[in-house]
């Protein structure tokens, strides 16, 4: 997921969005069940809106889909707008985030299909591979709960630590074995690339790696894979709209060979197709 955007007016209250859609809708009482007209999809800019723009420009018309993309600057409004029917779907989030949002906000949103992974990677200016990290090395990790847990699991996958069994949301206190006596420095996720000059290594989200000029497939010394990864980014709708024919068309297009090639060619491993 990414939190940078150009479409600043889209982050106005969901109620204002709802009014805008009602004005151009068919007049039915529930926009979430009105399957006529364009499918409006909320997305954060990179890579989500870019992928959707590719679909809109190259694939949608042939498939009989009228697709409109709205860019948002936050992670809240796309979901609230999808819940109230202001938009028909959104594309920006992972399953753990979606589940947590539904639980905390009382929304009823569901995943339609997984599209891509923005792989979390371990980067270092001092080590060429994970085994080269010195005893007592300091590793920067994101300080928000979901990404910190994800970072620790990546370090475990890389053989640097082991975690206690049965832990779903890992914290540094859940490290069972730490043979290199790594020290963890918690920083804001967006600051992890900048921390590389001050620490021995840092775990960086894919979107922030892109912004910092890092190439995950080339530069990461440990990198997530898309296979069976719970952090795949999803196309999401309000429950009950999974059978919207427009949504079905979009889901098929988002997992098409054309989109797979677009992602692979454009992002060069910074974004990985999950299908």
The answer to whether residue 10 scores a pLDDT higher than 80 is no
C-alpha–C-alpha distance, residues 126 and 190, integer Å: 21
C-alpha–C-alpha distance, residues 135 and 247, integer Å: 51
Give the helix/strand (H/E) hosting 149.
helix 145-157
* Residue 32 pLDDT: 43
Cα 205 to its chain centre, rounded Å, is 9
pLDDT per position as a tens digit, 172-217: 999 999 999 999 999 998 899 999 999 999 999 887 888 788 989 8
Question: How long a stretch of residues is the chain?
Answer: 275
* Residue 266 pLDDT: 93
Burial 157-173 (b: 16+ CB within 10 A, else e): bbebbebeeeeeebeee
Closest CA to 202 of 217, 219, 179: 219
Give the helix/strand (H/E) hosting 121.
strand 121-123
The string of DSSP codes covering 31-85 is: GGG--SS-EEEEE-IIIIIHHHHHHHHHTHHHHT--EEEEE-SSSSHHHHHHHHT
Q: Is the pTM of this model over 0.85?
A: no
| Stronger pLDDT, 21 or 237, i.e. the higher one | 237
pLDDT per position as a tens digit, 40-65: 999 988 899 999 999 999 999 999 99
The answer to whether residue 27 scores a pLDDT higher than 50 is no
Domains of the chain by range and CATH?
8-118+229-273 (3.40.190.10), 121-223 (3.40.190.10)
pLDDT per position as a tens digit, 231-266: 999 999 999 999 999 999 999 999 999 999 999 999
CB 170 within 8 A of CB 178: no
CA-derived radius of gyration, the chain: 20
CB atoms within 10 A of CB 216: 24
Reported confidence tier of residue 88, pLDDT bands at 50, 70, 90:
very high
What does the pLDDT average to over 75-88? 96
The two structure tokens encoding residue 96? 């753990």
C-alpha–C-alpha distance, residues 115 and 260, integer Å: 9
For the ranges 2-11, 172-181, 216-225, the maximum mean pLDDT occurs at 172-181
Distances (CA, A) of 143 to 3, 147, 174, 205, 221: 16, 7, 15, 12, 21
């Amino acid at each position: 997921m990414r939190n940078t955007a150009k479409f600043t007016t889209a982050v106005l209250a969901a109620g204002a969005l709802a009014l805008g859609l009602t004005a151009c809708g068919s007049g039915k009482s529930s926009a979430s069940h009105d399957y006529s007209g364009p499918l409006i999809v909320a997305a954060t800019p990179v890579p989500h809106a870019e992928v959707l723009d590719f679909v809109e420009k190259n694939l949608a018309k042939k498939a009989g889909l009228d697709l409109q993309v709205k860019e948002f600057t936050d992670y809240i409004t796309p979901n609230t707008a999808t819940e109230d029917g202001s938009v028909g779907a959104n594309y920006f989030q992972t399953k753990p985030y979606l589940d947590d949002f539904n639980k905390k906000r009382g929304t009823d949103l569901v995943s339609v299909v997984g599209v891509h992974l923005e792989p979390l990677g371990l980067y270092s200016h001092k080590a060429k591979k994970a085994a080269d990290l010195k005893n007592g090395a300091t590793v920067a990790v994101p300080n928000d709960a979901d990404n910190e847990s994800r970072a620790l699991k990546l370090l475990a996958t890389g053989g640097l630590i082991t975690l206690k069994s049965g832990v779903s949301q890992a914290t540094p206190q859940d490290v069972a074995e730490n043979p290199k006596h790594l020290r963890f420095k918690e920083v804001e996720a967006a600051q992890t690339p900048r921390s590389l000059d001050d620490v021995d290594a840092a775990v960086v989200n894919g979107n922030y790696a892109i912004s910092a000029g890092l190439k995950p497939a080339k530069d990461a010394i440990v990198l997530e894979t898309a296979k069976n990864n719970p952090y795949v980014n999803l196309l999401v709708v309000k429950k009950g709209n999974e059978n919207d024919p427009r949504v079905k068309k979009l889901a098929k297009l988002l997992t098409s060979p054309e989109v797979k090639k677009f992602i692979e060619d454009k992002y060069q491993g910074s974004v990985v197709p999950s299908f």
